[in-house]
Structure 1
Amino acid sequence: MEGQVLGNRYTLLEKIGGGGMAVVYKSKDTLLNRFVAIKVLRAEFSTDEEFVKRFNVEAQSVASLSHPNVVSIYDVGYQNNIHYIVMEYVDGLTLKEYINKNGALDWQEAIKISIQICSAIEHAHKNNIVHRDIKPHNILMTKEGIAKVTDFGIARAVTSSTITMVGSTIGSVHYFSPEQARGGFIDDKSDLYSLGIVMYEMVTGRVPFDGDSPVAVALKHIQEIPPEPRKFMPSLPYGVNEIINKAVQKDQSLRYQSATAMIVDLNKVLVRPQGGFVGQNVASNQATIRMQPLNNSNIPNHNRNNTTNNYMEAKKQNKKNTTAYWLAGITSVLVIAIALFFTISLLSKGNKETYEIGNYKGKNFSLVEEELIAKGINYTEIWQENDDYEKGIILEQSLPAGTTYRDGKYTNLELIISKGPQMAKVPDVVEREKREAENEIKTAGLTSKFVNEYNDDIPAGYVIKTEPAADKELKVGSEVVIYVSNGTELKTVKVPNLVGKTETEAEKLLAESKLVLGKIIPAGVTKGIVDRQLPAAFEDVTEGDSVTIFLTPQDTAPPTDVVPPSDTTTNTEETGQKPADESSVETQTPPVTDAETIP
């Protein structure tokens, strides 16, 4: 459908998403000159009149929502048997994509995202709209980190003829509430259950229930208790663990009763991560009791002509009932008192062995935890950053060593545990300019040291590598060594002596010295001998430089070979002596030995 225009103003540009019921396109609103997202219903839904009717009603009601964490709906339209909704375009990832990309999120980030989602749900509930399909796929994350909930009210429009459509439930079954899974009554607490499952996935990187089929997963929502998030993420604060556990209760009456109440606890846990403030709702199972009136004035006077006998009879009956209730109350109090007496007596006769709190300071929490569990000691973890102790070392304990308790139970032991020093990741600055790299290292909370070296591949002034390498975690303030390129190293060589050599020989000698043959003067000489060269023999030059040679015809006597300079050569100017003329030098004949005498 790309390129199609809807409503004479919305041009469909590209498909950016889709599900069992609709396809979403990035589009251009030509009237207001802005990008929008348009959800186009699949063709099979347009034949269901009930669905179309409900869909339009729901879409219009959701359009009335105005909240920073809700994807706004701008318009609803119909054209050529196509039903569509025009929505705010959010440039970012879905929360599902964000979790897949980053894995389990830091608990504080997860709580902040949850507050935004819960705030959007709260706004919808106050406007009598239940989302019914809260899941990471329906939560968009902007590049600024703002969560926006989308698809409000669409699930409510699903009818019996569309609920079994392939793909319409598979993506949601992992986040269904038990009442949704069994087709029961759905209310605002169903959305809070789904949010609890989303929070579970954010802090652990996984959903609590999985299976081979959607039916298997739905049955687990109905029948099984989800494993606590701390089982998969032991460092998760108890407060976060408690909030999730309360949100995903099977019984609707035991969950948060409103999004507002859940937001209160979400804000608290940022300040008090150790928890202890999350309560459970208690639903009474006591049947309704019809009480008799204690005062005859409360009895309706249906007949003002009742006889005195009837009046006295009613009065006696009331007195009798009052006495019965008093006796029943006193009996109940006595039974409870006796039960308590015997219970206390039995407990006092039981195990009176006393235990002592150990000295856990300086020990690794993973080892201490086993002991605490074995002894049945309830404890609370409080994790703090500490530059002096590695992660997992217990720094303080709320009860001093030697504190006694009975029956292996003590509910007030708090352990302050080191999270280790604050860590920072080494940014990837390879092939970045030196100053730019230095700024990135500084921004990451690290310091830098520069080392220069030659490199044939990286231009001068750019980073070759870092030690440690990118993504390595270091303590904040640690030093990162940045290796910066000086460019290609220029090596020097000595020019070989080419005098007396042919052009071919000279070129070969130059190649062996990693030099190249330059100009040949005069240019017309094809065969000749080198009688001069520039640079001169034995001068220091850079590898790859060229050498110019001067040739003389081969029939000319070759010049004398050039002798390399030597420290032992005598300078004639210094001695004042002139070299002997060859004509003045007498030819000396070596003496003839006896062995050479010819008989």
Structure 2
Amino acid sequence: MIGKILGGRYEILEKIGEGGMAIVYKAKCNLLNRYVAIKVLKDEFINDENFIRKFKRESQAAASLSHPNILGIYDVGTEDIDGKKVPYIVMEYIKGRTLKDIIREKGKLTVDETIFYSIQIAEALKDAHSNHIVHRDIKPQNIMITDDNRVKVTDFGIARAATASTLTTTSSVLGSVHYFSPEQARGGYTDETSDIYSLGIVMYEMVTGKLPYNGETPISIALKHIQDDIISPRDINSSISIQLESIILKCVQKRQSDRYPNISTLIKDLKDFKSLGKNTNMVDNMDNESPTILIPTINPEEEAKNNKVNNKPNKKTDKKNDGGTKVVLSAILLAFLLVSGMFFGYFKLKELLMVKEVAVPNIVGMEEEQAKEEIEELGLKFSIKSREKSEEYAAGEIIWQSIEPSTKVKEGYTIEVIISEGKDLVRVPSLINKSLEEAERLLEEKGLLIEITYRNSDTTPEGYIIKQEPEPFTSLESGSKVNVIVSQGEEVKKVIMINVKGLNIIDAKNRILSAGLEIGNVVPQPSDSVEKDIVIWQEYEQGTELETKTSVDLYVSTGPEKKPDTNKPGDNNSNGGGNNGSNNGTGNGANKEEKTITMEIPISSDGEEIEVKLVRKQNGKTEEIYKGNHSGNITLSIKGQIGAQIDVYFDGVHQPELTKKIK
């Protein structure tokens, strides 16, 4: 595939990845002068017409998605490669690694990293679900983490096209079955909650570094999703909080109705957990933080001594001791109630008086609307300080925030931002139906560059613009390229010359026009042997390859030529006498008529001169009648008797196709 060009514009540069269904290549779009990633389906899928049809439909639907956390799809096409129609997807090219690579490198992720990535994955799914697209193959291998730590979810729509047979196609697909929902394993109905289940498995793997279900075959793993209870994440990683474990376990419930009803409710719980930070375990640790209190107790040794001195039972003393015990127990109960009231009252008062704090997210690089939504969901205020030009950030992206990411602030705090206006923008002029020279001038005035592609056109004159990209009046940064398609005129087609000699001139003209050729000069020629209006000569011989609309000259018979009366008195030839019988119609043919013809001789010699020689054959004699050096086409007037043959030689080599007879 390296070096091949797909769709007439995408040049394959190198292989950058491979999955169970496709191979991914880095390519350059020669039309827009940018790098893209191209996913090309493997051979085992391209022969399944039903799969290809679903693949195209789902990929085109996925191309309609536009979200910062979803890998953009630019184009979907099919290319003929080695006699096979190979489908491909053109995607956004990013630098980064898969989430699977990061998990393998670190062993497991921190809770903060897990929540940070999970929220972004969930936001991508929220956008897809709102457009009625279910991913069906959420796994770390399909989640890219860019160099600036942003999530990009890939492969939307492809999983739906895959048939159940893909479970056992390759070892790479084995990776998918680890994240399948039970309904997918059963081949049942899938919906948005199927993506939630898969995301729960991904979260499980992030915080534990392990997969909940493993087996020797895809089928055995799928059965475990359906039948086996999941191992608690806290049994593997005791540092995980109960709250995070509860979120994960709710995602991976076997019944769809027991999971989160939609992705938005999951996002809310994840963001609530994130905003609580280290205080999430406050209730769990309450017992450990309870204060130590002093309560009265009975000393066992002193009690034994008193009992020894007073061996005899004393009703009065017993009654007195019994009363003392009741007093002590009452005091203990009262102290307990008092301390408990103070303890719970303290935390209730603290809860009422304490203003909640939240961690400021990193919104630099986000689109304005997304950043505003994220800030306001945390209970903070979003304020635009200014809008400024930026070489680094595209128009509408955040280039600065007033509070550093991860800093904790009180709810209601205002976060100021500066938003990029992009580089200096200019409006693309309308170039369609303008000449190439004028288009170049207009773009130069705007500070824009031009990228030219040529194409034949039956409607647009040669040298004029057929199409442009971007469209007219689009705003572009100064120095950007505008791609134009320039007309080369009508496509030149080849036709084969037919034979029209011997046909009536009207029939000959009709046949020449029907063949895609034009009628050139029609020259009348007397003929003693050919009837009037019959074609006796055509400029190009039958079988000659010509361009369409080439003009063809014809000679047409006018019948026998009328000769003047030669039997006049005093005419030396009237009695057939004369000089040695030279004019008696026999011998050297002196009675034959002489005429002058024009010969056009085409010369193609790349500028180098060649020797051109003309030889005339008549009355059994051969004589050279012209010789000269030429580097281009020439036209010569040649004189000879009717029936004489004129042969042409280039540098001494006979050119039979240029031979002419004088008629």
Q: TM-score range by the shorter chain?
A: 0.3 to 0.5
- TM normalised by structure 1 equals 0.47
- TM normalised by structure 2 equals 0.42
Q: Which structure shows the bigger proportion of residues in strand conformation?
A: 2
